[in-house]
């Protein structure tokens, strides 16, 4: 099955230091992919940097958060009728050379959503601090339970979608701390999920916005979101399972 047109969605908020490199890497590793940087109302000229490197840039009029920004990219993908969409974060943590690995299950027709997981092969080289690891495992177990399929990395934003996936996420994508909930939403909508082992890099520039209090809030919020997501009914997506 030929891949057709592929788009790389790169959400970015104040990543002027890293986004240029991300765009370059994608274009170098996979030149057939159209790079779309979604600028979430950055104040440091991120959009200009991306545009100068040849990316298509979607500029949001005000900050909507990572979920909203990523969804913007998927809406674009839907509107422009791309066959495949990949998401890489604008801070450089996702490695563009792993893109073919992510696309492979889609090409084989085995899945509609592919997640680049750091934990498929039981850890590999990524050893986050204990608390974080515990948290990730708890969420993974929970989503696996609620979704009916084993999920190993629920906070990974490194994903690839086929048309069914694009259609779902363009229409419906959680806005706060989305990755965990999005996986569950996809599973409950009948999308087929596949996971591939990837390595991620440390954040290049800028600081992570996670503090302890925010982590606590995050945990509660995600648990609640998962609860709601598991209780809602989801229309079966036609085209999923094809």
Partner 1 sequence: MLELVRGRRLKERYALLWLATGVVLLVLSAWRGGLNTIAGWLGVTSYPPAVLFAVATLFILLVLLHYSTVISKLTDENVELAQRIALLEERVGRSASTAPRSPAD
Give the residues lining the site for partner 1 (CB under 8 A): 38, 56-62, 64, 68, 71-72, 75-76, 79, 175
Residue 152 CB, nearest approach to partner 1 (Å): 30
Of 75 and 118, which CB lies nearer to partner 1 in the complex structure?
75
- Nearest approach, Cβ of 63 to partner 1 (angstroms)? 9
Rounded to the nearest whole angstrom, what is the least distance from the CB of residue 195 to partner 1 in the complex?
28
Shortest distance in whole angstroms from residue 28 CB to partner 1: 24
Residue (47 or 196) nearer to partner 1, CB: 47
The pair phi, psi for residue 218, each rounded to 5°, is -55, -50
- Between CA 149 and CA 165 the distance in angstroms is 17
Question: In terms of CB distance, is 3 or 65 closer to partner 1?
Answer: 65
What counts of helices (H) and strands (E) characterise the chain? 8, 7
Nearer to partner 1, 62 or 212 (CB): 62
* Number of residues in the chain: 242
Sheet holding 56-59, edge to edge: 56-59, 33-39, 6-12, 84-87, 159-161, 113-117, 193-197
Nearer to partner 1, 63 or 149 (CB): 63
> Radius of gyration of the chain from Cα atoms?
17
- Nearest approach in angstroms of CB 150 to partner 1 is 32
Alpha carbon distance 106, 162 (integer Å): 7
CA atoms within 13 A on the CB side of 145: 8
Q: Return the number of the residue (54 or 123) whose C-beta is nearest partner 1.
A: 54
Q: How far is the CB of 12 from partner 1 (least distance, A)?
A: 13
Strand-strand pairing, 84-87 and 113-117: unpaired
DSSP bridge partners of 84: 6
Half-sphere exposure of 71 (CA within 13 A, CB side): 18
């Amino acid at each position: 099955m030929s891949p057709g047109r592929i788009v790389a969605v790169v959400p970015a908020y104040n990543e002027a230091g890293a986004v240029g490199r991300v765009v370059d890497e994608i274009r170098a590793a996979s030149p057939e992919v159209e790079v779309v940087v979604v600028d979430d109302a950055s104040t440091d000229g991120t959009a200009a940097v991306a545009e100068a490197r040849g990316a298509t840039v979607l500029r949001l009029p005000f900050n909507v958060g990572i979920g909203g920004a990523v969804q913007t990219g998927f809406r674009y993908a839907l509107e422009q009728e791309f066959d495949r969409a990949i998401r890489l974060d604008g801070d450089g943590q996702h490695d563009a050379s792993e893109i073919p690995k992510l696309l492979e299950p889609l090409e084989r027709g085995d899945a509609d959503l592919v997640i680049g997981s750091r934990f498929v092969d039981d850890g590999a080289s990524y050893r986050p601090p204990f608390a974080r690891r515990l948290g990730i495992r708890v969420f993974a177990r929970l989503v696996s339970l609620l979704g009916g399929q084993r999920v190993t990395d629920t906070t990974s934003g490194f994903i690839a979608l086929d048309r069914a996936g694009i259609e779902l996420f363009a229409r419906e994508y959680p806005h706060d701390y989305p990755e965990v909930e999005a996986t569950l939403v996809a599973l409950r909508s009948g999308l087929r999920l596949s996971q591939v082992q990837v390595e991620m890099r440390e954040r290049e520039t800028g600081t992570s916005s996670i503090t302890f209090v925010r982590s606590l809030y995050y945990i509660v919020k995600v648990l609640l979101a998962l609860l709601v997501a598991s209780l809602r009914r989801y229309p079966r997506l036609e085209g999923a399972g094809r």
